[in-house]
A and B are shown apart, each in its own frame.
Chain A
């Protein structure tokens, strides 16, 4: 990107911020950081989700509990981007600690969808500001995080590309944990080639992240073992055929299917029964991990601290922790319930077993092996899975908040198409479909077969 091009993007930032509430903080030194250089991503502008730490800008997770917090170090993904010549334009708004699918649960207020100028429409979450920044062209790309769909859903709602790599391929060092067995850094942009370039820069083993995929395992990735196939076999899981999907939404999927057939690829039905149980599995495990991770926010060492007290009615840190938002409190309670002895045996351990079962079921439909499970691949297996990214186009903000207020479960089902892949750590991308604003189609590959997913996304758009 030329410095001139970047300066043009910057000239729109104040207006767009006022209109869509994209950022939680903006870099005031950008113009000085744009310098002629010969680096792979020179002078590209990036928005960083506000749960990825940066030493030059605050990191709040859009929560009152981290008000004013500035990290003493950069996350590894931020360091790698800076080293490649990228300039951070600001931190992007999000659902507090990544908990939400609408971009409505933020201390900084709702982020609005730039694709809908006539009404206030949900942008999707939790990487709401990252998707809005890309959709409004104020950045070249943005980083989000995806725990159960938080990159893919806002990408679908804004008709952008949202890529969630395999778990462990991008470093989580400096990514503030929501549910560490699921959290994955993802990339949102309008240009699939840009995703490939950024992924090449970030796709590295990081010794500082104990869950980073080792070089040994990376060398066994399916994409490296097999040449890019000319003819792909693509499966459509029958468990994603839900009764409430409209004909209009299914016709969007058919648009992509037509393209796939035109190119001579095969399509077949697949069945992965455990997909139906993915939501209860996820909402048992993720809040339990969240309750544990969020117990560290006591105000003593960093972040917001109540001005007067640390103890209330014999319970430590209540005055400070009251500053969590409503949905975060909901999930902490649910998580702690599941970690209590009776529920732990009944719910948590069962959810773990069923998660394993889901991974085995995914393994059993792919033509290439899972490098983590070392399974025997299926002879007549598929290369990719195809589905929608979300059930409906984005609702209005009022409608979303009304449903969410009745019971949080109403918004949990937005993640129906994205959560199964998160539980198995699979690489997926939500791709936009021409002339269909706000609906995305999702491609999923076997674990570590990220390149196959990206190549297919390029072919099918």
Chain B
């Protein structure tokens, strides 16, 4: 079903439905014919080049996570990246231009200005979503608070990167 068009890159080919199986034996044969190996997707941790330490430090800071065994993190991240880089083994179907893969209706009716205005007027505030002012004390679950404000401890940050 898949046609190799250039070294190690696979050209998109659409899905298809075959003819019905004529017998149980045909189904058994079909099930025994492996089409690929999932192991081919698993990078060898021993031979995967680790991600650079600076890159890992930058990501940890961006993620608000502490440094720890950086060498181990470099190795694990490299394995994960090699795994997802399999994405680049397949071409995108030119007809599949949309980048938006949200699971919602692809065709939406356009809203007119009048419709929008009416919707805004009809909007109500939902207590369950704490949309009404004063309905919920938003600091009630905070460990530290001061007169209705959240508290962050520490001096102003210097050298913020």
Please give the residue numbers on chain A whose beta carbons come within 8 Å of chain B beta carbons, in ascending order: 69, 72-73, 167-168, 181, 207-208, 211, 217, 233, 235-236, 238-239, 241-245, 247, 250, 253-254, 257-258, 261, 266-274, 276-277, 279-281, 283-285, 291, 295, 298-303, 305, 309-312, 314-319, 321-322, 324, 329-330, 332-334, 336-338, 340, 346-347, 349-357, 359-362, 364-365, 371-374, 378, 380-382, 391, 406-410, 412-413, 416, 423-425, 447
Q: Please name the residue on chain A nearest to B60 by beta carbon.
A: A333
Known A243-B34, A354-B92; judge A302-B142 contact (CB<8 A).
yes
Which residue of B13, B107, B143, B161 has the most chain A CB atoms within 10 A of its CB atom? B143
Contact B66 A322 (CB under 8 A): yes
Q: 8 Å CB contacts to A: which residues of B1-24?
A: 1-2, 12-21, 24
Residues in A with CB closer than 8 Å to B65 are 318, 321-322, 324, 329, 332-333
Chain B binding surface SS class: loop
Contact B104 A337 (CB under 8 A): no
Residues in B with CB closer than 8 Å to A316 are 64, 152, 157
Question: Is B110 close to A, CB under 8 A?
Answer: no
A224 to B85, CA, bound (A): 41
B94-131 contact mask (Cβ, 8 Å, vs A): 1 or 0:
00111111111111000000000000000000101100
A271 to B27, CA, bound (A): 15
Contact A242 B34 (CB under 8 A): yes
Contact A357 B96 (CB under 8 A): yes
Q: Please name the residue on chain B nearest to A362 by beta carbon.
A: B15
Contact A241 B88 (CB under 8 A): no
A217 to B106, CA, bound (A): 12
Known A245-B34, A334-B81; judge A300-B152 contact (CB<8 A).
yes
Contact B84 A347 (CB under 8 A): yes
Please give the residue numbers on chain B whose beta carbons come within 8 Å of chain A beta carbons, in ascending order: 1-2, 12-21, 24, 27-28, 30-39, 41-43, 45, 56, 59-66, 73, 76-77, 79-81, 83-90, 92-93, 96-107, 126, 128-129, 136, 138-144, 150-154, 157-161
Contact A372 B103 (CB under 8 A): yes
Contact A317 B64 (CB under 8 A): yes
A266 to B24, CA, bound (A): 11
Contact A301 B96 (CB under 8 A): no
Known A258-B24, A354-B92; judge A270-B141 contact (CB<8 A).
no
A18 to B27, CA, bound (A): 45
Contact B99 A353 (CB under 8 A): yes
Q: Please name the residue on chain A nearest to B28 by beta carbon.
A: A254
Contact B141 A69 (CB under 8 A): yes
Residues in B with CB closer than 8 Å to A391 are 38
Residues in B with CB closer than 8 Å to A447 are 103
> Would you mind naming 6 contact pairs between A and B with Cβ atoms under 8 Å apart?
A267-B21, A310-B152, A333-B60, A354-B92, A356-B96, A416-B38
Residues in B with CB closer than 8 Å to A72 are 136, 140-141
A241 to B136, CA, bound (A): 54
Task: Give 8 nearest A-B pairs by CB, closest first.
Answer: A243-B34, A355-B101, A302-B141, A361-B15, A269-B18, A311-B154, A425-B103, A280-B86
Residues in A with CB closer than 8 Å to B87 are 277, 280-281, 284, 347, 350-351, 354
Residues in A with CB closer than 8 Å to B73 are 333
Contact B99 A352 (CB under 8 A): yes
A194 to B2, CA, bound (A): 42
Contact B45 A406 (CB under 8 A): yes
Residues in B with CB closer than 8 Å to A208 are 126, 128-129
